[in-house]
Amino acid sequence: MSASERERVRVLVGIPEKGSRGGPAACEPPFIRELRKIGVEVAEETYAYADTQLGFTNRVARVLSTARRFREHVRRNTFDIVHINSSFDTRALLRDVVIVPRLRSAHSRIFLKFHGSDARLLETRNPALSFLRHRLLGRVGGIGVLSSEERANFLRAGIPERKLFQVKNVVERNIHGRKEEFFRRWELPDDRPLLLFIGRFIPTKGLLDVIRACALLRDRGQKCMLLCLGDGPVRSDAEAEVERHGLQKSVKFFGYIPEQQTVEFYASSTILLFPTYHYEGFPMVIFNAAAAGLPIITTRIRAAADYLKEPDNCLWVEPKRPDMLAERIIQVLESPELRPRMSSNNRQLAGQFSAECVTREYVEIYKQLASVDVIV
Residue-wise pLDDT for 53-103, tens only, equals: 678 888 889 999 999 999 999 988 889 999 999 999 999 999 999 999 988
Tell me how far apart the alpha carbons of residues 49 and 17 are, in angstroms, rounded to a whole number: 5
> Edge-to-edge strand order for the sheet containing 10-16?
41-48, 10-16, 81-88, 109-117, 142-145, 164-166
Tell me how far apart the alpha carbons of residues 364 and 376 are, in angstroms, rounded to a whole number: 10
AA identity, residue 259? E
**pLDDT classification of 376: cutoffs 50, 70, 90:** very low
Average pLDDT, the chain: 92
Residue-wise pLDDT for 277-325, tens only, equals: 998 889 999 999 999 999 999 999 999 999 999 999 999 999 999 999 9
Nearest Cα residue to 42 out of 2, 87, 73, 86: 73
AA identity, residue 353? F
Residue 304 has, within 13 A of its CA and on its CB side, a CA count of: 28
Name residues whose C-beta falls within 8 Å of residue 31's C-beta, 6 or more positions apart in sequence. 169, 170, 355, 358, 359, 362
Which runs of consecutive H residues, i.e. helices, occur in the chain? 3-7, 23-37, 56-76, 90-99, 119-123, 127-137, 148-156, 180-185, 207-219, 235-244, 259-268, 284-291, 302-307, 322-333, 338-350, 355-370
Instruction: For the chain, state the CA radius of gyration.
Output: 22
Tell me how far apart the alpha carbons of residues 51 and 243 are, in angstroms, rounded to a whole number: 32
Tell me how far apart the alpha carbons of residues 277 and 205 are, in angstroms, rounded to a whole number: 6
pLDDT of res. 49:
86
pLDDT of res. 175:
81
Residue-wise pLDDT for 33-48, tens only, equals: 999 999 999 999 999 8
Tell me how far apart the alpha carbons of residues 107 and 73 are, in angstroms, rounded to a whole number: 13
- Cβ(267)–Cβ(346) below 8 Å: no
Residue 9 in this model has a pLDDT that exceeds 70? yes
- Cβ(231)–Cβ(255) below 8 Å: yes
∠ CA 98-358-148, nearest 5°, is 70
What domains, with CATH codes, occur in the chain?
A: 3-170+354-370 (3.40.50.2000), 180-351 (3.40.50.2000)
Residue 250 in this model has a pLDDT that exceeds 90? yes
Residue 4 in this model has a pLDDT that exceeds 50? no
Residue-wise pLDDT for 138-182, tens only, equals: 999 999 999 999 999 999 999 999 999 999 999 999 888 888 899
Residue-wise pLDDT for 334-375, tens only, equals: 998 999 999 999 999 999 999 999 999 999 999 999 874 444
User: Cis before residue 189, ω within 30 degrees of 0?
Assistant: no
